Amino acid sequence: MSKITKEEVEKLANLSKLSLTPEEVKLYQDQLTEILGYVERLSKVDTRAVEVKGQVTGLEMVAREDVTKEYSCSSDNILSSLPNREKRYIKTKKVL
């Protein structure tokens, strides 16, 4: 494949919620091009007769009974991991 463009790297960073310095853009441009150049070898593998395996050990439709269970982890425990909170609410910057 041809070299990944600077604009493509910036778009990927944006989609991934990352921001890059101009030096990083250049670095990732080279590195991603090299890695994608390597993985492109798969295009030469003949997979016409291959049946797609959805799950590696062949499991299908794993489900459990729709019942509630007691759980040892309290909501206070979960709330205590929040970086920003007010009482029992998650606090964020303005969304809209």
Partner 1 sequence: MGTWENIDVIAKKVRNKKLSPLELVNKAINNAKQAKEFNAIISLQEDVAMQKAKKIDEKIQNKKDIGRLAGVPFIVKDNFMTFGSETTAASNILKGYHAPYQSTAVERLESEGAILIGKANLDAFACGSSTENSDFGVVKNPHNPEYVAGGSSGGSAAVVALDVVPFSLGTDTGGSIRLPASFCGVVGYKPTYGLVSRFGVIALASSLDVVGPITSSVEDTQLILDVIAGKDGKDSTAVDREKSYITDEESLKGKRVGVIKQFMEHGLDGEVRNLVENKINKITQSGAVVEEVSLPILDEALACYYIIMPAELSSNLARYDGIRYGHSSSSAKSINETYIKTRNEGFSSELKRRIMLGTFVLSSGYYDAYYKKAQLVRSKLIADFEKTLSKYDVLIGPTASTTAFKIGKNINNPLQMYLMDIITVAANLAGVPAISIPIGMSVNMPVGMQIISKQKEDKKLLGIAREMEKL
Q: Which residues contact partner 1 by CB under 8 A?
A: 4, 8-9, 12-13, 15-20, 24, 28, 31-32, 34-36, 38-43, 45, 47, 50-53, 55-57, 59, 62, 64, 72-74, 77-78, 80-84, 90, 92-95
Other CB atoms within 10 Å distance of the CB of residue 4: 19
Q: From the CB of 5, what's the least distance to partner 1, in Å? A: 12
Q: From the CB of 66, what's the least distance to partner 1, in Å? A: 13
Q: From the CB of 61, what's the least distance to partner 1, in Å? A: 10
Q: From the CB of 73, what's the least distance to partner 1, in Å? A: 4
Quick check: 6 and 22 in contact, CB under 8 A? no
Cα torsion angle, 83, 88, 91, 96, sign? positive
Please tell me the distance from the alpha carbon of residue 15 to that of residue 9, in angstroms, as a whole number: 10
Other CB atoms within 10 Å distance of the CB of residue 9: 21
CB nearer to partner 1: give 87 or 94: 94
